[in-house]
Amino acid sequence: MTKSEVITKLLPKRRAWPQAAATAFAPANIALCKYWGKRDAELNLPTAASLSISLGRLGSEVTLAPRAGHDRFTLNGKLLAPESSFARRAAAFLDLFRPAREFCFEVTATNTIPTAAGLASSASGFAALTLALNELLGWRLERRQLSILARLGSGSACRSLFEGFVEWHAGEKANGMDSFAEPLAARWPDLRVGLVVLSDKEKPIGSRDAMAQTRDTSPLYAVWPETVTRDLVALKEAIRRRDFTRFGEVAEGNALAMHATMLAARPSILYCLPETIEAIHSVHALRAEGCEVYFTMDAGPNLKLLFRKPDLRSIVKGFPEVRVVSPFAT
């Protein structure tokens, strides 16, 4: 099945183009149990389920408006060339939803996190774009349907439609209608996420290509889906019981397992910088001193620390530049 066929199924009737602009925000999300590998690249259907936590007000805001002539994209106040990575991917996504071929878009996006540095700016960007389209074009879709549409732009974008802990169901159907995200009811008020940005440069290989290369060439990938399935169950149980030790151990182990599959790919994929390794050693040192902190990493060199509110002072002392997020702040 193609993306267009999925969209036709979800949007059988298109409303007339409104003469207005729409603005939407979506949070970035950090995967605790990783999404790494697809059973269908066209529809961004994952080989296994995943679990994330959103980052509150850190994410992407997108304003969408009709424009005559051609699409125009602005990111963080900078007008982008049509051939830039952001413009190309956003234009391809918008192509799926244009009410008519001649309709063009003015897209103004602001990221409050570094772009393409492994901090899920792509996920929040496509989620915000989907929400803006929903308002601008008058779809009035439910979040589950929007999650499916956002997934067509970027797999993990389906999780950025929600706050808190979010599970992305892998699904089994070929059309992907059972592959969507939904939030867990659980809350963890004293849980904190610390962003340790070691580089804000665009990563050398994008997640999409790295994922395919890992799946196709890494001998360790064969056991990855089983690892994810086991870790997902353990994480959900740890969240239910608020067992922070188990929660941190599983999340950290899952991240290291994902990066191990990449290291074993041919050619090897390595996102870590020397600063990344140094930061990991700092986490280990803090734990040895009695500060219970764990880390996770996505496809990039930056660390995300997992800790609780009472340990904030020790975390800031160990990582002075850390940006702390309270995912369940009221």
Q: 3-class SS at 32?
A: strand
User: Helix and strand tally (H, E) in the chain?
Assistant: 9, 13
pLDDT tens track for 233-245: 999 999 999 999 9
Whether pLDDT at 222 is above 90: yes
Tell me the pLDDT band of 329, cut-offs 50, 70 and 90. confident
pLDDT per residue as tens digits for the range 165-175: 999 999 999 99
Q: What pTM was computed for the model?
A: 0.94
**What is the pLDDT averaged over residues 54-68?**
94
pLDDT in tens, 249-263: 999 999 999 999 999
CA distance 240 to 250: 14
The predicted model gives 54-74 an average pLDDT of 95
**Residue 130 near residue 25 (C-beta atoms within 8 A):** no
Going along the chain from its start, the domains and CATH numbers come out as: 3-183 (3.30.230.10), 191-325 (3.30.70.890)
Facing residues of 25 across strands? 61
Q: What is the pLDDT of residue 204?
A: 84
**How far apart are alpha carbons 272 and 250 in whole angstroms?**
20
Residue 44 confidence (pLDDT): 96
**CA gap 135, 148 in Å, rounded:** 16
